[in-house]
A and B are shown apart, each in its own frame.
Chain A
């Protein structure tokens, strides 16, 4: 590899971005340790980080254009995996969702997590041609088509949490592909206005099931909602976060919410609550700041991308990451209903950390080639 590392490449390598990603994910591992020191998730996560670092470098030093070129193959392969995961016996059913494939010796992985990368590449590939006109209906339909295939399969698992993380990818791409601004604004207004309407219709027709309604009610009033039933996760997460105070709770370790098992899924979905309990407002603010810097760095990279395709890849990644952060942290803070979306670079899970690393690898690769065209 050393041979490939020309001087220019080293100079253009995005050290800050890499470093931030590494620091956040190590911080995340520490929190996974705090959540359940005896469970060994943190060790797995360290191994995952090692693997991810290698994969990230591999992607970073590969020409992203070649990968975009063969994106349909990835995309097709991903779809196959999404079909395979649905087959009982191959796909593992956990908590009623069949979204894992067991790989002997390696553990399990989640195709829906990886499928985001080919989807981004496909979108970038299709929308990456230099634009001569505003977004056409035909383009929009094709974009939707690219998205709907994986999302549809994921909904069959069913994993609504993963499924919704796909939408910001398309939204960002369309937004940056000359969709008329008035359309965006109209969509926003209509969307906002239709939420209550959809709620009423959904409840009346039974499309929104009672447990889903409960989850929404919990958000509106966590204190008085059913704190032992549907509201349990949200309430415990709020308690855990609040308990952290300014500098972190004094009742840590064995007395912590996660180790006493009051906080569910502390190493994955609620890793942010664990962070809040252990490091307080100070630690959480630093983490959010780190995310802000990371995303800003990515957006800067997108601005200097050598072509539209590269720009779209990075911006779609930005959209995806920001959305996941919002959903996950919003859920931990009781702003949003409980949706199983991992916190990028923080939550335990090989699939998630790997897919995020690949995404960052792409961003680095694109930046490395900024003067090539």
Chain B
């Protein structure tokens, strides 16, 4: 070097710079080796995860049919607007409130509420902003993909339930899964979605919340498919990589006969208070052909309108309504059965030998004196045999039968007819009836906790200590009618098979799981006597249930008038409940039913005509030759009497 100087080792210093340059490049190379060779696979996977997104394709939920294939519930396509949680990380939700409430016409308060709910979940995926979006809403979202890339539009099949609240309590309704439900073991069932076994339900999923929708959610539920798409950094879809189409849910065929159901509902709607229960059952297998509970509600409120402020208001009004329209009275209403109880007493009295076929007479005497208290009968029937006692509904006869059987006998009867258990019907939230026992009295009347003979008298004619659900009562009566087969009442006829597709295996046909009845030892001759008495109730002069008579069709039945309060106060809203339990033909029953009209008075006057009208509808379909040309409606008969 020509310019080498004495003041420094220039060559050396240049060598130092050279070395430094090489050292820098070596450091970079080493880091490169670490990132690309050592950790390359890991980063490649992370990059894939942000590039590829699975978009769910919601599966169609199974439809629900009546026993003859009439459509009860189906789904139609609607569109929801969602926010992808992935796109909201690190962003301020509050900034969305104003544009969304303006652009989509939403209540800002409701939006904030939904955002709060979403944020509380540990790993939410998406938040529904608007259900049932209109075409204008969708256009608005599409026009704002640049400013609001987190918005998604998703097709959402929406449930459509019958109008007028028909079958509302039986069908139930669907709704969004709640954060609490997501934690329940029931919603961890890996069968639900074989594609995501460990986490089959997602926040925002629509599930059956009530009724059959809830019980058979596992059949009705389809299995969601997905589209695998490639997205860019803003979540915009670039390409579709693959598609797995969804597998629809299984269609449900119920045991409901829509015509009977509509007739039953009509009876209740036309009743004076528009409150009550009617259940129709096939006595040969426990299939429920109609189940009406009034007042009713519109399930579409929960499946369609619950997202709107008005819908929420409507729903909370329903919840607070003192007439409990959301409540399925057939399985949640506990009513004193009144004289319908006597049929079970009669059957059990014979079984237990308290009375015999040869000598079934007991004194009526117009009432009974226990201690210094006289409990009267509604009439004076002398010393009637069982058949007459049933026909005229002699209370005093059954006071004495009850005393002969004793509390233990009554409790044995309760146990025999499963009245102290749930019926096992395939509906959620069933309640157990309350039945006489020493414990029940102690709880019911703690000041006079000991069981006395007078309590036995009350318990023996369906008052004070007896509170049964209409379904449990019908089930017991059906066992009397068919000679001792206590079926589990049910609504599922079948869940139709769905073919396997792609990754989804075939879903086989399903039927009700408990078809075998409990067998009660009711001898034929005893059975005949009770049935004969019930036939007389309807078909003989002096019978209390003449209003249910159908010429040519041997209707058997029993009225009941259940005291709501003590005698003498039975007016207005405290009027007695009117019961009628019935089946036909008496000696070869093919249809059985129970009707309860709340707070109207005597059983023969309101419930029996309602039952009559249902028989009429039944006959028109099953035995057109027997169908009467014309018969009075409930409303008319109520006016006449």
Give Cα A130–Cα B4 distance, bound, in whole angstroms.
9
Complex contact A245–B14 (CB within 8 A):
no
Given contacts A255-B51, A299-B14, is CB(A260)–CB(B230) below 8 Å?
yes
Indicate if A242 sits at the interface (CB-CB under 8 A). Answer: yes
CB distance from B326 to the nearest CB of A (A): 44
CB distance from A224 to the nearest CB of B (A): 13
Secondary structure class of chain A's binding surface, majority of residues? helix
Q: Find B14's partner among A131, A132, A176 (CB 8 Å cutoff).
A: A176
Indicate if A126 sits at the interface (CB-CB under 8 A). Answer: no
Indicate if B622 sits at the interface (CB-CB under 8 A). Answer: no
Complex contact A288–B28 (CB within 8 A):
yes
B-chain residues with CB within 8 Å of residue A228 when the two chains form the complex: 89-90
Complex contact B32–A307 (CB within 8 A):
no
CB distance from A61 to the nearest CB of B (A): 22
Interface residues as binary, A324-368 with B (CB distance below 8 Å gives 1, 0 otherwise): 011001100111000000000000000000000000000000000
Indicate if B509 sits at the interface (CB-CB under 8 A). Answer: no
Interface residues as binary, B6-19 with A (CB distance below 8 Å gives 1, 0 otherwise): 01101101101110
Stretch at the interface among A23-31, A144-152, A211-219, A246-254: A246-254
Complex contact A246–B36 (CB within 8 A):
yes
CB distance from B521 to the nearest CB of A (A): 73
Give Cα A288–Cα B31 distance, bound, in whole angstroms.
12
Complex contact A373–B21 (CB within 8 A):
no
Which of A133, A176, A226, A240 gathers most chain B CB within 10 Å?
A: A176
B-chain residues with CB within 8 Å of residue A176 when the two chains form the complex: 8, 10, 13-14, 17
Task: Give the nearest-CB partner of A281 in chain B.
Answer: B36
Which of B16, B28, B42 gathers most chain A CB within 10 Å?
A: B28
Given contacts A241-B36, A242-B43, A246-B36, is CB(A134)–CB(B7) below 8 Å?
yes
B-chain residues with CB within 8 Å of residue A262 when the two chains form the complex: 47, 50-51, 232-233
Complex contact A303–B29 (CB within 8 A):
no
B-chain residues with CB within 8 Å of residue A238 when the two chains form the complex: 35, 43
Stretch at the interface among A37-45, A154-162, A314-322: A314-322
B-chain residues with CB within 8 Å of residue A172 when the two chains form the complex: 17
Q: Find B238's partner among A130, A254, A311 (CB 8 Å cutoff).
A: A254
Interface residues as binary, B70-105 with A (CB distance below 8 Å gives 1, 0 otherwise): 000000000000000000011000000000000000
Task: Give the nearest-CB partner of A319 in chain B.
Answer: B17
Give Cα A130–Cα B7 distance, bound, in whole angstroms.
10
Indicate if A229 sits at the interface (CB-CB under 8 A). Answer: yes
Given contacts A229-B90, A318-B21, is CB(A333)–CB(B28) below 8 Å?
yes
B-chain residues with CB within 8 Å of residue A305 when the two chains form the complex: 3
Complex contact A130–B43 (CB within 8 A):
no
Complex contact B5–A131 (CB within 8 A):
yes
- Sort chain B's interface into a size bin: 35 or more
B-chain residues with CB within 8 Å of residue A242 when the two chains form the complex: 35-36, 39-40, 42-44, 46-47
CB distance from A321 to the nearest CB of B (A): 9
Which of A242, A260, A305, A333 gathers most chain B CB within 10 Å?
A: A242
Give Cα A227–Cα B89 distance, bound, in whole angstroms.
10
Given contacts A178-B7, A261-B234, is CB(A243)–CB(B47) below 8 Å?
yes
Give Cα A124–Cα B127 distance, bound, in whole angstroms.
65
Q: From residue 225 to 271 of chain A, which have CB atoms closer than 8 A to chain B? A: 226, 228-229, 238-246, 249, 251, 254-255, 257, 260-262
A-chain residues with CB within 8 Å of residue B90 when the two chains form the complex: 226, 228-229
Complex contact A303–B1 (CB within 8 A):
yes
Give Cα A254–Cα B241 distance, bound, in whole angstroms.
12
Give Cα A363–Cα B7 distance, bound, in whole angstroms.
25
CB distance from B13 to the nearest CB of A (A): 6
CB distance from A308 to the nearest CB of B (A): 4
Stretch at the interface among A67-75, A100-108, A289-297: A289-297
Give Cα A330–Cα B27 distance, bound, in whole angstroms.
9
Indicate if B518 sits at the interface (CB-CB under 8 A). Answer: no
Give Cα A170–Cα B2 distance, bound, in whole angstroms.
23
Task: Give the nearest-CB partner of B30 in chain A.
Answer: A333
Q: From residue 272 to 311 of chain A, which have CB atoms closer than 8 A to chain B? A: 276, 280-281, 284-285, 288, 291-292, 295-296, 299, 302-308, 311
Task: Give the nearest-CB partner of B1 in chain A.
Answer: A303
Give Cα A311–Cα B20 distance, bound, in whole angstroms.
18
Indicate if B569 sits at the interface (CB-CB under 8 A). Answer: no
A-chain residues with CB within 8 Å of residue B234 when the two chains form the complex: 261
Give Cα A226–Cα B91 distance, bound, in whole angstroms.
12
Indicate if A175 sits at the interface (CB-CB under 8 A). Answer: yes
Indicate if B415 sits at the interface (CB-CB under 8 A). Answer: no
Complex contact A322–B35 (CB within 8 A):
no
Q: Find B233's partner among A260, A291, A299 (CB 8 Å cutoff).
A: A260
Q: Find B22's partner among A292, A311, A319, A330 (CB 8 Å cutoff).
A: A292
CB distance from A367 to the nearest CB of B (A): 14
A-chain residues with CB within 8 Å of residue B33 when the two chains form the complex: 281
A-chain residues with CB within 8 Å of residue B46 when the two chains form the complex: 239, 242
Indicate if B314 sits at the interface (CB-CB under 8 A). Answer: no
Complex contact B37–A281 (CB within 8 A):
yes
CB distance from A301 to the nearest CB of B (A): 11
How many residues on the A side are at the interface (Cβ–Cβ under 8 A)? 61
Give Cα A39–Cα B475 distance, bound, in whole angstroms.
77
A-chain residues with CB within 8 Å of residue B32 when the two chains form the complex: 241, 276, 281, 284-285, 288, 333
CB distance from B479 to the nearest CB of A (A): 66
Give Cα A130–Cα B8 distance, bound, in whole angstroms.
12
Complex contact B5–A132 (CB within 8 A):
yes
Give Cα A245–Cα B35 distance, bound, in whole angstroms.
8
Which of A130, A134, A239 gathers most chain B CB within 10 Å?
A: A239
Complex contact A308–B21 (CB within 8 A):
no
Complex contact A315–B14 (CB within 8 A):
yes
Task: Give the nearest-CB partner of B21 in chain A.
Answer: A322
CB distance from B302 to the nearest CB of A (A): 37
Q: Find A251's partner among B16, B21, B35, B47 (CB 8 Å cutoff).
A: B47
Give Cα A131–Cα B7 distance, bound, in whole angstroms.
7
Complex contact A241–B2 (CB within 8 A):
no
CB distance from B609 to the nearest CB of A (A): 71
Complex contact B24–A322 (CB within 8 A):
yes
Complex contact B37–A246 (CB within 8 A):
yes
Indicate if B239 sits at the interface (CB-CB under 8 A). Answer: yes
A-chain residues with CB within 8 Å of residue B47 when the two chains form the complex: 239-240, 242-243, 249, 251, 257, 262
Complex contact B36–A132 (CB within 8 A):
no
Complex contact A292–B25 (CB within 8 A):
yes
Indicate if B113 sits at the interface (CB-CB under 8 A). Answer: no
B-chain residues with CB within 8 Å of residue A251 when the two chains form the complex: 44, 47-48, 51
Task: Give the nearest-CB partner of A128 in chain B.
Answer: B3
Given contacts A175-B13, A242-B36, A299-B18, is CB(A335)–CB(B51) below 8 Å?
no
Q: From residue 146 to 189 of chain A, which have CB atoms closer than 8 A to chain B? A: 172, 175-178
CB distance from A291 to the nearest CB of B (A): 6
27 A-B pairs in the complex with CB atoms less than 8 angstroms apart: A130-B3, A134-B7, A228-B89, A239-B46, A242-B42, A243-B40, A245-B37, A251-B47, A251-B51, A254-B230, A260-B51, A260-B231, A260-B232, A262-B232, A281-B33, A285-B29, A303-B11, A307-B3, A315-B14, A315-B17, A319-B17, A322-B21, A326-B24, A329-B28, A330-B31, A333-B28, A333-B31
Instruction: List the 10 closest pairs (A to B, CB-CB), nearest first.
Output: A242-B43, A245-B40, A178-B7, A228-B90, A178-B8, A281-B36, A261-B233, A260-B232, A308-B3, A243-B44
